[in-house]
Structure formats: C-alpha cells, structure tokens
C-alpha cells in the first residue's frame, strides 16, 4: 500500500516533468501552423485556446485563470482573437494537442497505459476550485493512443498547475512575486511578456512580504500535498508505472 509520504515524493519528483510534457505542444510547430491558419500569432492562439474550454470570458477573467501572464498581454490576445468563439478556439487548441501527440508520441510503446493512468488521476481529482482543469476534463478526448496521451498529459499539467496556483493565492501571493523569489527571477517574467513597469510593481509587492521565502516554501509543500492526494487513486504499482511512463515520454521528447 502506498503511504502518503511516498505519494508526496512522487508528486515532488514528477512536478517539473508533468509541467514540461503537458506544455510542449503549446510552443510547437503544430501550434505555430494552426495560429497562422487563424491569422494569429502562436502566443495569441495558445492563450486564447487554453482558457477557451471554460467558455466565453473577458480578458480580466482570462488573466485570472492563466495566472502567469500580465493583463496587458492577455488584453492584446483577446483583441486580436475576437473573431474566434470560445468553442472554436478550444477546438483549435485541442486539435493542436492531438496533432502534436500524433507527430511526437507515436514511438511511445505504452502510450495507452500512461494515458489511462494520467486520466484516472485527473478524473478522480476534486477540481471545483481549478477552473481550467475542470473545463478541459469535460472536453472530448481523442481515441488514438498518441493523441490521447498528449491530451492526458495536458490534463495532468492543468491539474498540477491549478493546484500550485491555488496554493500561491491561498498564501497571499501571486505568480510574478513567487517567480521573483526563485532563481528564475526577472528574466523569466520578461520572457512571459511582463513589461518593465509590471515587473517593478511585482518587485514592490515582493518587498512588502516579509516572510516571502517561508511562504514560497509553504506553497510548494501545499501543492505537492494536493497532487499527492490526487495520486492516491493509484496503488503503489500504478504510481510507479506512471512515473516510469512519464520518464520514458520525457526521454522520447528530448531534442537529439
């Protein structure tokens, strides 16, 4: 029987892998091609599509759901993609995910097994306070093994990201403040589109959090515990199978 400590170890060990694998299709040639067909940039298509499963919304709500991007960037994305309905944008986004899976995961021999386990974790999780995970969980899933695995990895990522974002906000913080407290810092925010003035505002906010390091540590612990609870639907063998499967997919998607 898997103990809570073992599940937490699994949650901690797979954190970066889950986020990486579930997001690879977002910055891909497949996403760039789909965006071009819609007359949009890759970033606009990705931002619009990612939240679209949650329905029609304005840029302010989208900024809240995304968490990682400044409202200025999201407003631009919404203005440029206004011709797309939420249903259309979500369909493009999900289609890109499936296409990327077909193009990059066909060599994963146990794709169906890994997809089964990832879906089991997501389907058994409480996503009441995780709008994107909940919205994408309700979306129709591909049936072909490679495409289904890509979609399952995206679902797992939204679950893991949502738990982390919820923990950040529950501790009175925001993603830019947490990023500034990490080794990624200012450069990471710039790459995400945060302007100099927006970064300066986040730096001011960070300076007013006297126990920032402690709070960030608590965030990591709470997010790991949350994902550990989700993993609890799997027995010890299934968790190890999922970990090994994720490692093989990670290896298969590395350049070279």
- 231-250 tens-digit pLDDT: 999 999 999 999 999 999 99
Segment holding 43, helix H or strand E = helix 42-52
| H helices, E strands: number in the chain | 14, 0
Q: What is the pLDDT of residues 98-122, one digit of tens each?
A: 999 999 999 999 999 999 999 999 9
pLDDT for 183: 73
pLDDT for 3: 61
pTM of the model: 0.94
Cβ neighbors of 248 (< 8 A, separation 6 or more) are 108, 110, 114
Q: In the block, which residue shows the tokens 């540590």?
A: 217
pLDDT for 210: 86
90 vs 18: CA distance, rounded Å: 21
Cβ neighbors of 184 (< 8 A, separation 6 or more) are none
Q: What is the pLDDT of residues 14-35, one digit of tens each?
A: 999 999 999 999 999 999 999 9
């Amino acid at each position: 029987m898997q103990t809570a400590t073992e599940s937490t170890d699994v949650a901690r060990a797979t954190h970066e892998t889950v986020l990486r694998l579930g997001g690879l299709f977002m910055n891909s040639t497949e996403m760039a091609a789909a965006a071009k067909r819609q007359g949009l940039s890759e970033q606009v298509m990705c931002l619009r599509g990612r939240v679209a499963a949650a329905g029609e919304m304005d840029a302010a709500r989208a900024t809240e759901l995304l968490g990682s991007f400044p409202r200025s960037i999201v407003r631009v994305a919404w203005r440029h993609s206004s011709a797309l309905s939420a249903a259309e944008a979500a369909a493009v986004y999900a289609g890109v995910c499936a296409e990327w899976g077909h193009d990059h995961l066909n060599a994963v021999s146990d794709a169906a097994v890994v997809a089964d386990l990832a879906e089991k974790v997501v389907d058994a999780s409480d996503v009441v306070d995780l709008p994107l995970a909940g919205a994408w969980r309700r979306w129709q899933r591909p049936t072909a093994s490679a495409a289904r695995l890509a979609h399952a990895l995206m679902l797992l990522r939204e679950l893991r990201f949502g738990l982390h974002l919820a923990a950040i906000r529950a501790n009175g913080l925001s993603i830019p403040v947490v990023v500034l407290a990490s080794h990624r810092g200012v450069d990471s925010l710039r790459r995400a589109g945060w302007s100099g003035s927006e970064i300066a505002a986040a730096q001011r906010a960070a300076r007013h959090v006297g126990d920032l390091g402690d709070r960030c540590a608590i965030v990591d612990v709470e997010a790991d515990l949350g994902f550990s609870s989700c993993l609890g639907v799997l027995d010890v063998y299934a968790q190890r199978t999922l970990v090994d499967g994720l490692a093989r997919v990670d290896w298969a998607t590395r350049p070279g």
